[in-house]
Structure 1
Amino acid sequence: MELTVLKEAKPEHDYKFVLDPRVTSPESFRVIFVILLDGDLVMSPEHLGVAYMAAVLRRAGFVCAIEEVEHGNEEAALETIARFDPHLTCFTLMSLNTLSCLRFSDKLRSRLPHTRIACGGPAGTYAGLDILRHNPHVEIVAVGEGEPTIFELAQCVYLGEPLERCPGICYRDAEGRLRQTPLRALMHNLDDLPFPARDQLEKHGGKLEYVRISTSRGCVARCAFCSAPHVGNKIQQGKAWRGRSPESVLEELTQLVDRYKFRTYDFIDSTFEDPDGGKIGKARIRKIASGIIERKLDIYYNICMRAENWTDGDGELLELLVRSGLEKVNVGIESGTPEELALWEKRATVDDNVRIIRLLREHGIYLAMGFIQFHPYSTVDTLRRNAEFLRANYGHNLRRLTERLEIYPGTPLIKRMEQDGLLAPDYWQTLDHYGYGYKDEAVGKLARHFASLYNNEDYHMRGVITDTSAVFEFETFNVVLSTYLLRIYRKFNHLPAVLELLEDFRNGTHAVHRQTADFNYQFFMSNLEDVLADRLDDARQRKDLDLLEAHFRSIIDTIKTRQLRLGRALLRAGADLTLIASSDDVRSFTIAKTYTGGGTPCW
């Protein structure tokens, strides 16, 4: 199949959304964005990339809809899409949902033979030609940031013009040849974008556990395993990191709080404090935090940080962030060994990682740690040293000890694995994020054994969480608990009795976590020794399943008992706990159930 690359376009970093005057009735043109609920979208479906593109098209007068597709409810979604009768149907592709898209688009094509089917997203950006080769129903794949491309693509299809006039896409022409138009430049003027459409928030209402916010795009790091836009995998010209102004962020937050009365938010920036955690980046987030306090928004939020960007001199800024509502931070720790940090091209050192873990604990902020224990280049030695690192540093969540690397197109790691013969032969057909082998097969056997302990095959084979084990419940419970304590601190730190109660409870919980870290270490090392001695079998797996379920449910029950006592003591100390709910409607206290963090809005 022939590929033709068309002439390069002139970069335009400050993109102007100007409607072609020949588009006289945009309201007659219908675009639908189909969201396949795979991966973490199962737990919290709101998709900001789609929301931004829908907002851009609606501002220009086009008619847009957003349709979610749940597993088992495909026919209902197809019926809704057929009634809408779109001229253009768009999918956002990640590694997790390429096969779902193939199956769904096959059914869609039979129902709506005349709709144009387009895809984008991370998988489309880095494997667009492979998507076209292996999904015969897709005609167009967007590459990179979606807003300018969807804005021009809709006009192109409306006018019936050749697709070659739309930069930033791959497509299949009438003769079946693959073509790629010139790449677009990255947008620098993010404040010119409309606020994202909130169809999914309005659909799900109070059922959403947080609302997503994007304050920036890109990252100045270059992690070898990461497909989020950063300086190591940037394919579009322009600055790798671009931030919205604090004023724009604060205005969006204010509108969301005023309109939807929602108070829990997830800032999905790859790194909240970029660029490089210096004065400029930290001055920007200081303005955002100060503005949240000045506007009395009374919100709670989660962010991503990089370990090397934070030192003991940042205590005052961290405290400001906490007072503004910061509750949870995702940090890509990834490893406790220098050689693996070098493999991942991390800028952080082991000492940086130890320091950020300590700093967040000292400020009562929950750490959602990224950690890659098992990967194609793991050795028995790195497994042992990582286990020791986690035992000493935040090792109470067992999954950190047993996590497998997920691989994505567009990353340097993929190229290395391909050269070393470790990439699965059918990877470019499936984009399977576990589609690799191990240099040491004993390591691979142990990785698969641990993955099978937590869940059904949805997690074991695809990393999709559809059923919850005690290990997952314990992890979620810890997020809820940490957030609960921090919200109490924010609201009632003027009461000395409350501070004393919180300190005592945290010390007791920390002791339980230390005991759990020791249990996890011993459990891991026992399994490691058994795999080396070839003693792992089905009987051992069933025994481990029972052991983990009983152990972690016992820990949850122990902490819950202490928490109930704490709640009664707090009430006696004058703390009205109804004041820390996630919305203005007092409802049961919850927190996001996702287990990954970060991301950048893209198609």
Structure 2
Amino acid sequence: MESDRKIRALLLSPIYDDPTELPPMGFLYLAGYLRQHPRIELYVPHCSLTPKNSRELLAEREYDVICTGGMLTFVDTFVRFLDDARVLQPQALRVLGGPIVSAFPGERLFSELDFHVGVVGEGEATLEDLLLAHADGRPFHQVPGLLCRGLDGRALVTEARAPINLKKCNILPDWSICDIEAYFRHIGCRVLHFLGSRGCPNRCHYCNSTIRGYRIRAVDQVVDEIRATHEQYRLEGLSFRDETFMANPKRIREFCRAYMDSGIGLPWGCGLRTNIADLETLRLMREAGCTEIQYGVESGSARVLKRMNKHVTPADNLRAIRETQAAGINRGVSVMFGYLEETKDDVRATIDLLMEANELPKYYSLTTPVPGTPLFDDCAARGLVDDPVAHARIMNKAIYLAFAPKLNMTGIEDAELFPFLREELARLYTAHFRRNHAWLLEFSFGMGQGGSLRAACSHCGKELAERVGHPKWSYQLFCPNCRNHTWVHLADVPEYAAHFDAVRGFLDRLDAQGGALVLRATKNDFVYGNMIKVDPFGRVMGRRPPVISETQYRFHLREWDRAAPPAQSAWALVMDMDPDRAYAVELAALGFAPERIMPVLPAPERAICYTAPRPAQAWAG
């Protein structure tokens, strides 16, 4: 039986404890949906609006229900938060939501986290129903869309809840729960996120999307939301966070025309599948203000794409990149390496596709099987992973390829996987560096002062500028005019060219006399990380030299063992300037011969000021 009893609920994420970060988008939509309910007193404190930590907020007042949730990788954070909630609010119902609920078997989740009930999938209507059921004393197993204890005490997932009709129920996020102005100051621009749809019509093998069923909002709803949010917060741009932005060209064109007719005029970005947009649609998107499209290219191998269940081909990927380039829209390309049973040839196919497109990925990552996905289940069946909760705690440790992965599900030998992936990435970046050489117009640098550079884009000739905090041999610049990447090479500066010739001579002597190369990394990781991507000499990283490093970033190189190779027969490259010869003295003390020690960058005794005439030429673009 329903009653008029109000229920007091706390909605709190213990993850976003940085006042300059936005709350999870799910919390913004929950707050917008539940805020005006006559029977629900909703409290959504965010650290940007209060100095209190999560424990203080939990103890601040008495609640009937405490709600939290988020990504499965934060499982330990939720363990601590729910333990605090049990101690500080023992009378309250503890509710868990977000992707973590769908990632693990129910019994395993209940054994790991101290909560009473979980919200499965889309949260707004289910949480509303749950809160009212709790207020009215209705049993939870009668509420659709929950993970709870059944009458027998076992974990029970109740019947699935019908997805919300987004055209009839226009759910809007409540941005008032955080300090938007502080967030804008932190990111340096006034950009917020929007959704034109929910869910995804595709079922990729690796994806852990918990929102089932692809649904779209009416275009006029989306445009009206953008207009109202812009009027309130004076935006400078917007980003669509849909899993798949407007899944067909017809709807994309409908949005573009409505958005242009609205006169809002803000630049925007989105994500698309590579088999959706054609050149005509892309040009319309550019006309409507689209400045970036993120593409989940993932692989250049037809075999891997089929295993991923992507329903796209390498030809689709290549066409999308080229046509987006032609439309003048920036590409945010992502690729994944290390997929299940992936071979070296598959990896090379991905690199080759990017090289053919003359494109660098915005994101590259090592594939990690996410609990709750078919990929994880396949890895578990092969004995590659075991406990999903234990895996979630460590699964992102090597995702960005700064460290060797602990899990190898490929067809590549363990000892070869990480070095091979790093070397293939270096092949891509070095080729792009050589192919997209900007014309350096001006370079200045002084020790302890920093400097700057100006260059003409290799594609369109637009003048680009960059501050120089520390010299590197290559600078990757992005041209906002033609939306391509171009590179500056310090070998164009005479003072640096002379030193780089000396480094080549050093490597020539190494090749002629024999011996092993050792790298001495410095506290400044910029130069070392620069050569990991781009080897301008072409003879350094391919040797897989050991490294002497004070930082944790050794990438795919092993730590130097003094006995192998012995310092007396080795050659050392200092991966930086060495103005006071401190590294040379240290290496000599280790046994390296002074004539076999070379810094890769010169330490100028005076400020460098180089100016070149602007070229008169036809640009590649």
Within a 5 Å distance, the mapping from 1:149-548 to structure 2 comes to: 149-172=126-149, 176-203=153-180, 204=182, 206-207=184-185, 209=187, 210-229=191-210, 234=212, 240-274=213-247, 277=248, 282-311=249-278, 314-315=279-280, 317-396=281-360, 400=364, 403-423=365-385, 425-432=386-393, 433-434=395-396, 436-440=407-411, 442-443=413-414, 446-447=417-418, 502=462, 510-512=485-487, 520=533, 530=544, 536-539=557-560
| Number of equivalences | 461
Partner of 1:597: none
Looking at structure 1, the residues matched to 483 and 229 of structure 2 have their Cα atoms a distance apart, in angstroms, of 37
How far off is 1:372 after superposition?
A: 0.5
How far off is 1:307 after superposition?
A: 0.4
Cα–Cα, structure 1 residues 92 and 301, in superposed 2: closer, same or farther, change >3 Å?
farther
Single out whichever of 175-184 and 112-121 deviates more from structure 2: 175-184
How far off is 1:531 after superposition?
A: 10
How far off is 1:333 after superposition?
A: 0.3
How far off is 1:296 after superposition?
A: 1.8
Partner of 2:4: 24
RMSD: 4.3
How far off is 1:310 after superposition?
A: 2.3
Q: TM-score, normalised by structure 1?
A: 0.66
Q: Which amino acid aligns with 1:80?
A: L
- Helix, strand or coil: the match of 2:95? strand
| Residue 11 (structure 2) pairs with residue 33 (structure 1) | yes
Asked if 2 retains the 8 angstrom alpha-carbon contact of 1:66 and 1:199, the reply is no
Partner of 1:144: 121
Cα–Cα, structure 1 residues 531 and 374, in superposed 2: closer, same or farther, change >3 Å?
farther
How far off is 1:177 after superposition?
A: 3.0
How far off is 1:551 after superposition?
A: 10
> Which of residues 59, 64, 80 is equivalent to 2:57?
80
- Helix, strand or coil: the match of 1:145? coil
Q: Which amino acid aligns with 2:409?
A: Y
Asked if 2 retains the 8 angstrom alpha-carbon contact of 1:375 and 1:438, the reply is yes
Looking at structure 2, the residues matched to 538 and 94 of structure 1 have their Cα atoms a distance apart, in angstroms, of 35
Single out whichever of 44-53 and 339-348 deviates more from structure 2: 44-53
Asked if 2 retains the 8 angstrom alpha-carbon contact of 1:89 and 1:117, the reply is yes
Asked if 2 retains the 8 angstrom alpha-carbon contact of 1:38 and 1:96, the reply is no
Cα–Cα, structure 1 residues 422 and 205, in superposed 2: closer, same or farther, change >3 Å?
closer
How far off is 1:124 after superposition?
A: 0.9
How far off is 1:154 after superposition?
A: 0.7
Cα–Cα, structure 1 residues 426 and 382, in superposed 2: closer, same or farther, change >3 Å?
same
Cα–Cα, structure 1 residues 264 and 525, in superposed 2: closer, same or farther, change >3 Å?
farther
Single out whichever of 209-218 and 244-253 deviates more from structure 2: 209-218
How far off is 1:331 after superposition?
A: 0.7
Cα–Cα, structure 1 residues 178 and 101, in superposed 2: closer, same or farther, change >3 Å?
same
Q: Which amino acid aligns with 1:307?
A: T
Looking at structure 1, the residues matched to 135 and 178 of structure 2 have their Cα atoms a distance apart, in angstroms, of 29
Cα–Cα, structure 1 residues 518 and 206, in superposed 2: closer, same or farther, change >3 Å?
closer
- Helix, strand or coil: the match of 2:144? coil
> Which of residues 120, 123, 132 is equivalent to 2:100?
123
Cα–Cα, structure 1 residues 528 and 351, in superposed 2: closer, same or farther, change >3 Å?
farther
How far off is 1:265 after superposition?
A: 1.7
Per-residue Cα deviation, 1:280-326 (whole angstroms, up to 9, x for no partner): xx332323222222222122222110001123xx32x3233223321
How far off is 1:110 after superposition?
A: 1.5
Asked if 2 retains the 8 angstrom alpha-carbon contact of 1:376 and 1:436, the reply is no
User: 5+ residue gaps in structure 1?
Assistant: 1-19, 235-239, 455-470, 472-498, 553-560, 566-603
How far off is 1:429 after superposition?
A: 4.3
Asked if 1 retains the 8 angstrom alpha-carbon contact of 2:83 and 2:114, the reply is yes
- RCO comparison, higher one (Cα < 8 Å, 6+): 1
Cα–Cα, structure 1 residues 206 and 182, in superposed 2: closer, same or farther, change >3 Å?
same
Per-residue Cα deviation, 1:74-131 (whole angstroms, up to 9, x for no partner): 9722212321433211122312212211122212221221221111212212426156
Partner of 2:444: none
The percentage of aligned residue pairs carrying the same residue is 20
Single out whichever of 324-333 and 377-386 deviates more from structure 2: 377-386
- Helix, strand or coil: the match of 1:309? coil
- Helix, strand or coil: the match of 2:269? strand
How far off is 1:229 after superposition?
A: 4.9
How far off is 1:25 after superposition?
A: 4.6
Asked if 2 retains the 8 angstrom alpha-carbon contact of 1:45 and 1:200, the reply is no
Asked if 2 retains the 8 angstrom alpha-carbon contact of 1:128 and 1:170, the reply is no
Cα–Cα, structure 1 residues 508 and 427, in superposed 2: closer, same or farther, change >3 Å?
closer
Looking at structure 2, the residues matched to 328 and 33 of structure 1 have their Cα atoms a distance apart, in angstroms, of 33
- Helix, strand or coil: the match of 1:297? coil
Looking at structure 1, the residues matched to 91 and 419 of structure 2 have their Cα atoms a distance apart, in angstroms, of 44
Q: TM-score, normalised by structure 2?
A: 0.64
> Which of residues 40, 43, 65 is equivalent to 1:65?
43
Asked if 2 retains the 8 angstrom alpha-carbon contact of 1:391 and 1:521, the reply is no
Looking at structure 1, the residues matched to 358 and 460 of structure 2 have their Cα atoms a distance apart, in angstroms, of 24
Partner of 1:573: none
Looking at structure 1, the residues matched to 200 and 535 of structure 2 have their Cα atoms a distance apart, in angstroms, of 37
Partner of 1:91: 68
Q: Which amino acid aligns with 2:203?
A: R
**Structure (1/2) with the larger helix percentage:** 1
How far off is 1:162 after superposition?
A: 1.8
Q: Which amino acid aligns with 1:294?
A: D
- Helix, strand or coil: the match of 1:351? helix
Asked if 1 retains the 8 angstrom alpha-carbon contact of 2:12 and 2:67, the reply is yes
Cα–Cα, structure 1 residues 136 and 310, in superposed 2: closer, same or farther, change >3 Å?
closer
Asked if 2 retains the 8 angstrom alpha-carbon contact of 1:217 and 1:241, the reply is yes
Per-residue Cα deviation, 1:236-277 (whole angstroms, up to 9, x for no partner): xxxx21100011111111110111212322211111131xx2
- Helix, strand or coil: the match of 2:171? coil
Per-residue Cα deviation, 1:306-352 (whole angstroms, up to 9, x for no partner): 001123xx32x323322332122111100111111111111111111
Per-residue Cα deviation, 1:494-525 (whole angstroms, up to 9, x for no partner): xxxxx986499657964429999998476999
Single out whichever of 345-354 and 221-230 deviates more from structure 2: 221-230
How far off is 1:49 after superposition?
A: 1.7
Cα–Cα, structure 1 residues 446 and 307, in superposed 2: closer, same or farther, change >3 Å?
same
Single out whichever of 390-399 and 206-215 deviates more from structure 2: 390-399
User: 5+ residue gaps in structure 2?
Assistant: 397-405, 430-458, 465-478, 491-528, 547-555, 562-571, 578-598, 602-609, 615-621
